[in-house]
């Protein structure tokens, strides 16, 4: 409960502060949108954990807290959680078949890219331009795309209903705020907060699987442990940023066991590092990685569009992949690290991960 209060509470306080200074200076209001938007990322991580069933021991408590957070993040809880569980089933798979239309956790090989027509390559490349993908599209996703169940299968009735119920709840919440404070004031406060949070959040999400040394695998070679340790990043952040992002920088640990809650990821990371050290990426590395969009299957690495010449590069190892970071260290047990990662997650009827290792507040 303390983790929930220290996540939602500071965000609400940031919004209140913006309303207070709005009559004084809108520049000051915009300045406060940056830390308030960053605090919203922490709220989103709570919602994310609730979707994995890891934040609380109680399933009902997770659902209640997740839905509460969705009123802050504008993200339908049930629909997003199920879509996200599909991501956890085949992340860093070059031939993934699920996950909706999310372009931030999918990757095309150079072979497939150059097999497209010129028009097809343009349509694929345009929304992935760094400025469009990282600055323009994120607010559109959270403000508009999440208002409709566009890529939600028709037989996901519960998830489709959650989109409409979330919209109705948001209409009630913001309608009340507008009635009390005025539509103009509500837009001037919450719109910049959402813009900041969406840009920072999607950038963070993107570099969790797209970074210089990330490994993506063909469908037949996909392996759960290797995809977690080689295909998911450990983003080393300063303490404040680590707190704001709910420790999700330890993303390789999260993929080893999604049932480890965010507030125990640092502890779990220490246990994993003792068995199979994983190299970190810095914030600067992460910013540079935002341009990586294609998989060079010969070089065994991600590249940006400017590097794509029609022929995969020939500078990599003969097998087309980088050496595994844990090949010369202690072997990770097949089903994870003792104490935190005792069992490889299985899949429920909704695709959500389940593990024997469960830590709740």
In the chain, what are the domain boundaries? 2-354
Q: Comparing 15-19, 102-106, 116-120, 336-340, which segment has the lowest mean pLDDT?
A: 336-340
The residue-averaged pLDDT of 314-331 equals 42
The residue-averaged pLDDT of 312-325 equals 43
Q: Comparing 121-130, 251-260, 340-349, which segment has the lowest mean pLDDT?
A: 340-349
Going by pLDDT thresholds of 50, 70 and 90, the confidence category of residue 331 is: very low
In this predicted model, what pLDDT tens digit does every residue of 244-286 receive, in sequence order? Answer: 999 999 999 999 999 999 999 999 999 999 998 999 999 899 8
In this predicted model, what pLDDT tens digit does every residue of 74-104 receive, in sequence order? Answer: 999 999 999 998 888 888 888 765 545 677 7
Going by pLDDT thresholds of 50, 70 and 90, the confidence category of residue 318 is: very low
Does residue 240 surpass a pLDDT of 90?
A: yes
Q: Identify the pLDDT of residue 239.
A: 92
Does residue 189 surpass a pLDDT of 90?
A: yes
HEC string of the chain equals CHHHHHHHHHHHHHHHHHHHHCCCCHHHHHHHHHHHHHHHHHHHHHHHHHHHCCCCCCHHHHHHHHHHHHHHHCCCHHHHHHHHHHHHHHCCECCCCCCCCCCCCCCEEHHHHHHCCHHHHHHHHHHHCHHHHHHHHHHHHHHCHHHCCCCCCCCCHHHHHHHHHHHHHHHHHHHHHHHHHCHHHHHHHHHHHHHHHHHHHHHHHHHCCCCCCCCCECHHHCCHHHHHHHHCCEECCCHHHHHHCCCCCEHHHHHHCCCCCHHHHHHHHHHHHHHCCCCCECHHHHHHHCCCCEEECCCCEEECHHHCCCCCCCCCCCCCCCCCCCCCCCCCCCCCCCCCCCCCCEECCCCCEECCCCCCC
Q: Identify the pLDDT of residue 311.
A: 55
Q: Comparing 83-92, 202-211, 352-361, which segment has the lowest mean pLDDT?
A: 352-361
Q: Kindly report the pTM of this predicted structure.
A: 0.84
Q: Identify the pLDDT of residue 90.
A: 80
Going by pLDDT thresholds of 50, 70 and 90, the confidence category of residue 353 is: very low
């Amino acid at each position: 409960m303390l983790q929930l209060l220290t996540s939602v509470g500071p965000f609400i306080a940031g919004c209140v502060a913006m309303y207070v200074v709005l009559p004084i200076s809108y520049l000051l209001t915009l300045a406060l949108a940056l830390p308030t938007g960053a605090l919203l990322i922490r709220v989103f991580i709570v919602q994310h954990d609730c979707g994995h069933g890891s934040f609380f021991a109680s399933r009902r408590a997770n659902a209640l807290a997740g839905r509460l957070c969705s009123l802050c993040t504008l993200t339908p809880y049930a629909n997003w959680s199920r879509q996200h569980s599909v991501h956890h089933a085949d992340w860093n798979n070059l031939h993934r078949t699920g996950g909706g239309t999310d372009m931030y956790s999918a990757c095309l090989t150079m072979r497939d890219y150059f097999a497209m027509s010129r028009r097809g390559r343009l349509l694929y490349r345009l929304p992935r331009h760094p400025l469009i993908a990282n600055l323009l599209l994120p607010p559109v996703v959270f403000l508009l795309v999440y208002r409709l169940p566009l890529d939600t299968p028709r037989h996901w009735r519960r998830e489709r209903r959650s989109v409409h119920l979330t919209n109705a709840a948001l209409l009630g919440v913001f309608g009340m705020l507008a009635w009390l404070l005025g539509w103009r004031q509500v837009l001037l406060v919450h719109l910049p907060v959402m813009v900041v949070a969406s840009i920072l959040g999607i950038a963070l999400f993107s570099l969790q699987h797209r970074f210089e040394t990330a490994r993506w695998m063909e469908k037949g070679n996909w392996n759960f442990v290797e995809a977690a340790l080689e295909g998911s990043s450990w983003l080393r952040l300063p303490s404040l940023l680590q707190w704001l992002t709910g420790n999700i920088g330890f993303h390789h640990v999260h993929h080893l066991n999604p049932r480890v809650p965010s507030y125990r990821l640092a502890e779990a990371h220490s246990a994993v590092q003792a068995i199979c050290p994983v190299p970190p990426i810095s914030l600067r590395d992460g910013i540079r990685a935002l341009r990586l969009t294609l998989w060079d299957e010969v070089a065994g690495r991600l590249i940006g569009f400017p590097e794509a010449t029609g022929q995969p590069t020939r500078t990599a190892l003969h097998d087309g992949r980088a050496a595994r970071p844990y090949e010369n260290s202690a072997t990770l047990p097949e089903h994870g690290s003792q104490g935190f990662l005792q069992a490889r997650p299985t899949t429920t009827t909704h695709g959500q991960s389940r593990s024997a290792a469960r830590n709740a507040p």
